Structure 1
Amino acid sequence: MIKLIRYFAQGRLFWALLVILGVVLEGCGLYFQYGLNLDPCVNCVYERALYMTFIVAGIIALINPKNRLWRFLGEIIFFIGSLFGIMIAFSHLADYTNDGFGASCKLRADFPSFFKLDEWLPWMFKPTGACVKLDWSLFGFNMPQWILLSFVCGTVVALIFIVTEPFAHREERMRYY
């Protein structure tokens, strides 16, 4: 099983699929905003920013997935982005179930001064709505639940890759003997 995991981690297919997944998830957010006219709340905007880590991690690892440094950097970015995504998604879910009266539902994003996504790309990262319940669900799950699920899956996969990373080093060392 570990060999199979390492095979995926060291191949380009997984990382290319991660980039595609990130683009699709960003596209879904934009479709909800512009296609369905659902204004994004601050949590939606933060989640979009964290989905960008899927794209960045995939691109970095795609540089050379057989190289430990590039691969591990991709795994760490994927893990950290997914972990922070879980935290934001939990907050989003709490605000969603409280009809927007949660502590994190602000009308203004609070990105760091050196990374003002809401000013640089307002069409994508500027919150224009409140955290209110939407009349939208898919297979019985609402939007914040799907977002939470996506970040949980990302965290699990990234953690599995990171935990099995030492086995890749052992296999590489054994090849030289």
Structure 2
Amino acid sequence: MGFLTRFSQSRQSWTILFISGLALELAAAFFQYVMHLDPCVMCIYIRVAVLGIMAAGLIGMIAPKVWLVRLVGLVTWAVSAAWGLKLANELNEMQVNPNPFSTCSFFAEFPDFMPLDKWMPFFFEPRGMCSDIPWSFMGVTMTQWMMLGFLVYLLTLVLMLIPALKPAAKS
């Protein structure tokens, strides 16, 4: 059994996935509450995509050697990373090519069964404008960093996908 196979079937790999998502959520809280950079609605949706990454990590941690559990974790990971990349790309387009006819909503539109902006407005209520670029590092905006982050998640998923889908060897 190769290194990637062993690693994809280890609790450690899924814990790293969870912790990376948690670090991004903590960074979002730092930007919002320490640096006073209000999130826009797209930023809020990107936060939800990162929560999906965290959920994938938790799912995988449950039983990383069980093929079905890994599959559910991998699908959650794939959907969250792809959706996050799509959102970050759309937000980047709004920031790089501002258009008064192409703006984002001022209000989050969560489903009725999960109104995160009502349950936890301190973290999921948008207050910023999508066209604003409030922060950059090394000439790269926060949105572009998130695009890179979601790309890394997807590339890592590809590396883990093939060995992770193989049934675990019996001990």
Judge same fold: TM > 0.5, yes or no: yes
SS of residue matched to 2:2: helix
Tell me how far 1:140 sits from its aligned partner: 2.4
- 1:21 matched to 2:20? The reply is yes
Residues 149 and 3 from structure 1, CA distance in 2 versus in 1: closer, same or farther, beyond 3 angstroms? same
* Residue matched to 1:125: 124
Distance 1:102 1:50 in 2: 26
Tell me how far 1:72 sits from its aligned partner: 1.3
Residues 20 and 10 from structure 1, CA distance in 2 versus in 1: closer, same or farther, beyond 3 angstroms? same
- 1:110 matched to 2:109? The reply is yes
Residues 101 and 91 from structure 1, CA distance in 2 versus in 1: closer, same or farther, beyond 3 angstroms? farther
User: Bigger CA drift: 41-50 or 6-15?
Assistant: 6-15
Long gaps (5+) in structure 2? none
After TM superposition, the score normalised by the length of structure 2 is: 0.90
Tell me how far 1:124 sits from its aligned partner: 0.7
- 1:41 matched to 2:35? The reply is no
Distance 1:144 1:100 in 2: 17
* Residue matched to 2:55: 56
Question: Which residue identity is paired with 1:22?
Answer: G
- 1:141 matched to 2:115? The reply is no
Long gaps (5+) in structure 1? none
* Residue matched to 1:92: 91
Tell me how far 1:104 sits from its aligned partner: 4.9
Q: Which structure carries more helix by proportion?
A: 1
Distance 1:153 1:101 in 2: 32
Tell me how far 1:47 sits from its aligned partner: 0.4
* Aligned residues between the structures: 171
After TM superposition, the score normalised by the length of structure 1 is: 0.88
Contact 2:18 2:54 in 1 (8 A): yes
Tell me how far 1:157 sits from its aligned partner: 1.7
* Residue matched to 1:162: 161
CA RMSD after TM alignment? 2.0
Quick one: percent identity of the two aligned structures?
31
Residues 8 and 70 from structure 1, CA distance in 2 versus in 1: closer, same or farther, beyond 3 angstroms? same
Distance 2:138 2:132 in 1: 17
Question: Which residue identity is paired with 2:133?
Answer: L
